[in-house]
């Protein structure tokens, strides 16, 4: 999936759109997506001025965005304008390596379980072959009222 198709599945826009490309997707099972980390991103001016590091919370958000694409593709439809996917939990999060400008962050998310509108995933972020972060994510699909 290129960026134009990704924009049809995620409500996020710059500077908060954190998935640049979907490399592989197996509906109902897994997704492999890519985030290009560039020095132009606005948070690098403050995180950290002398040693820019991609924030860990944004790694989790990038994984969740990839998970949302996988979920909507698995359900077989694009999101309703009144719907949103929210974090319901992040467990076992571990950060193993800093992610720096110039890195390509590979986002791999596998569906662990689906119960009604709650989805559980196992998620891993890598730079090349190096593990950058991992977590078990839980997200909830909600319709705005």
Q: What is the set of active-site residues?
A: 47
Task: Identify any residues that bridge with 72 across adjacent strands, giving them in sequence order.
Answer: none
Closest CA to 110 of 122, 125, 95, 124: 122
Q: How far apart are CA 92 and CA 75, in angstroms?
A: 27
Answer left, alpha or beta for residue 76, where phi above 0 means left and psi between -120 and 50 means alpha. left
Q: How far apart are CA 16 and CA 18, in angstroms?
A: 6
State how far the alpha carbon of 22 is from the alpha carbons of 95, 112, 127, 128, in Å: 23, 20, 16, 16
């Amino acid at each position: 999936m290129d960026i134009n198709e990704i924009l049809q599945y995620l409500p996020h826009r710059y500077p908060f759109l954190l998935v640049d490309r979907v490399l592989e997707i197996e509906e109902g099972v897994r997704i492999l997506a890519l985030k290009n980390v560039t020095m132009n991103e606005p948070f690098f001016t403050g995180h950290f001025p002398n040693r820019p590091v991609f924030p860990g919370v944004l790694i989790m958000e990038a994984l969740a965005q990839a998970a949302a694409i996988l979920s909507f593709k698995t359900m077989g439809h694009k999101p309703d304008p009144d719907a949103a996917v929210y974090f319901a939990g992040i467990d076992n999060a571990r950060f193993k390596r800093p992610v720096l400008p110039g890195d390509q962050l590979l986002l791999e998310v596998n569906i662990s379980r689906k119960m009604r509108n709650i989805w559980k995933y196992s998620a891993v972020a890598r730079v090349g072959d190096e593990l950058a972060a991992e977590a078990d994510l839980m997200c909830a699909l909600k319709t705005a009222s």
